[in-house]
Structure 1
Amino acid sequence: METQTATETLKDRFLKIREKTESICASLEIDDFSTQPVDFVSPPKWHLGHTTWFFEQFVLSEYKKDYRLFCEDFAYCFNSYYNNVGDRILRANRGNMTRPTTNDVFSYRKYVSQQLAEFLEEDINAKVSEVIEIGLQHEQQHQELLTYDIKYILGNQPFFPVLKTDIQLQPEKDKGFVAISEGIYEIGHKGKGFSFDNEHGVHKTYIHDCEISSTLVTNGEFIEFIEDSGYSNFNLWHADGWDWVKTNNIKAPMYWYKHKGVWKHYTLKGLVEIDSSLPISHISFYEAWAFAEWKGMRLPTEFEWEVASKHLNYGQLWEWTNSAYLPYPNYQKAEGAIGEYNGKFMVNTMVMRGASLATPKNHSRPTYRNFFTPDTRWHFSGIRLAK
């Protein structure tokens, strides 16, 4: 998360985060804002509206005296999955909304930002501050999702547009494997800073002797997997993973193309030849697991990863673990709509740890539990091996 300095107010931090979200869209043309090429990608316009609705719904409407909604219909347009606060447009239909216009949404953002900035000039209690903090963390999560979605939208255009961005993977220095000694370890968030409810429930777990790679798997290593018939050897795959490969005719990672015998891939800086020294990205859990099988190794559990994290350089790509996303002991889901934030997704998803180049500065921590379905690969995902 963006840390708050001694002289920076909550209002300053709020306005900075709001500005950052809009800056991610700086390279977009007006036609890009409403596009939804597939159901798991949301239009940039929707992200801008949804993160605004969150503050209007959970802060201004609840706590600001005499607050007037910008538009009563916007809740239906920009609610995501909060059943407690009313009906909403289906996720797959978000791209059908040419109205409200992109300009309307920017006006909405300006109105709500001004209203909340005024509200933050008042004395607010701890309960309200906590909800605002969740809103800030929520918007930062959407900054990352917005980056993924923009890349998917532009990566499926015929001319592979180039964005103004500093996002660029770097080679990692190989320091071998990190050894974890057998024993009982404490897992979960113990610090005083912000954390999500899915990190709570500090508990002990037993870990056997193991080793975790100090570096992420590279493009070059993954090309070896492809050339050794990795995508056609069913012995390497989960049954679900093999069905996914055959049903979707998967032959390479997302955004990869082989042209005249040369592998290329789409990046935010356009279509470029693949650098074999860089970490492999846009990998599903199914592919990560199959690659580990091929290497005669495995993916780490989320608990092994957390214990090893202080010895690892992470932050380039989210890393798949071999752990299902489940509640920790004594997990307590919040009441009402806020309680829908994490808990109801604790089924059919796998935990990812670390961070990515699209993660807002200081938004991750060793106990942060990201989660995605095993077929997901449009996000900035990579592979770290264990043995």
Structure 2
Amino acid sequence: MTESIQARPLNVRSPSKTDFIEQYQNVRRFSEYLCEPLVTEDYVVQSMPDVSPTKWHLAHVSWFFETFLLFPAVPGYQSLHPQYAYLFNSYYNTIGERHCRPDRGLISRPTVEETYRYRKYVDEQVLELLTKIDEQRLMEFAPIIILGFHHEQQHQELILTDLKHVLSCNPLSPVYRTRPSASTSDVPELEWIPFPEGIYWIGHEGEGFAFYKEGGRHREFLQSF
């Protein structure tokens, strides 16, 4: 299942419309694949202030594409609901006011079903845009589209880490996803790996995607460890 929806690396030298469409669909499908084992009640729990409900993650990444791609690129674009921008903004203060993070678990509406409807609405609009947009405009919006891919992948990690805490709080010890027991016979013993003192290059290099805080590449002195 996962092999068929995993996103392959985007051709950063000369990405095509097909590349963008395929990457978008794969990234979005994988978020929903992660939610397949859940029941409705699992989507809405906020077990501590630093945890966000799964429903919120699914809506927030849709809000990201809507806010930073659809509104600027599609003349007259209308959101499915005018208040979603307030509910699903995270920390983008320059975009507008936002709902208090520790209270995300208090949002019973939109429902899980309505949240998926919102995702579908955004998906339809983005795919229509990617299909019709000319190459020049595509390259203009390429940086924000690619950022959106990686932003959603960040939230895929958060969905899992947040769910881990949510399920850990349940006395019934529910299992997120059942799988066959792995053999431990071939697992090597753990050992420390020493690193000598020296000057090392750190930071991103190359043409692939990186967040701004991962660059620029520079040298750093490290003590041995």
TM-score (norm 1): 0.51
Q: Deviations over 1:169-191 (max 9, x none)?
A: 98653485444344322211111
- TM-superposition CA deviations, 1:268-312 (whole Å, max 9, x none): xxxxxxxxxxxxxxxxxxxxxxxxxxxxxxxxxxxxxxxxxxxxx
Which among 34, 49, 53 is matched to residue 59 of structure 2?
Answer: 49
Matching of residue 159 in structure 1 with residue 172 in structure 2 = yes
C-alpha distance in structure 1 between counterparts of 2:122 and 2:67, whole Å: 10
Give, in whole Å, the separation in 1 of the partners of 2:141 and 2:178.
35
Q: Secondary structure at the match of 2:70?
A: helix
Q: How does 1:258-273 map to 2 (within 5 A)?
A: none
Alpha-carbon deviation of 1:164?
2.2
| CA distance, structure 1, for counterparts of residue 70 and residue 99 of structure 2 | 22
Q: How does 1:1-387 map to 2 (within 5 A)?
A: 2-4=8-10, 9-121=19-131, 122-123=133-134, 124-164=137-177, 173-174=188-189, 176-208=191-223, 210=224, 387=225
Deviation for aligned residue 1:132: 0.6
Distance 1:37 1:199, change over 3 A: same
> Aligned partners of 1:48, 1:99: CA distance in 2, in Å?
14
Query: How far has the Cα of 1:168 moved from its partner?
Result: 8.5
Determine if contact 2:130/2:138 at 8 Å carries over to the other structure: no
Alpha-carbon distance in structure 1 between the residues aligned to 2:37 and 2:48: 21
Number of equivalent positions: 210
2:111 partner amino acid: T
Give me the whole-angstrom Cα distance separating, in 2, the residues matched to 1:68 and 1:128. Answer: 19
Higher helix share: 2
CA distance in 2 between counterparts of 1:173 and 1:198 reads: 35
User: Which region of structure 1 is more displaced relative to structure 2, 67-76 or 175-184?
Assistant: 175-184
- Give the whole-Å Cα distance in 1 for the aligned partners of 2:180 and 2:215: 31
In structure 2, how many angstroms separate the alpha carbons of the residues matched to 1:201 and 1:170? 42
Report the AA paired with residue 36 of structure 1.
Answer: Q
Q: In 2, Cα distance between the equivalents of 1:35 and 1:129?
A: 35
SS in 1 for 2:32: helix
- Decide which moves more: 138-147 or 154-163: 154-163
Identity in percent: 37
TM-score (norm 2): 0.85
Q: Which residue identity is paired with 2:201?
A: E
Higher CA-based Rg: 1
Structural RMSD (CA): 2.4
Give the secondary structure class of the aligned counterpart of 2:44.
coil
CA gap 1:167/1:100 in 2 versus in 1, 3 angstroms: farther
| Higher RCO, Cα 8 Å, sep 6+ | 2
**Offset, 1:207:** 2.7
Gaps (5+ residues) in structure 2? 1-6
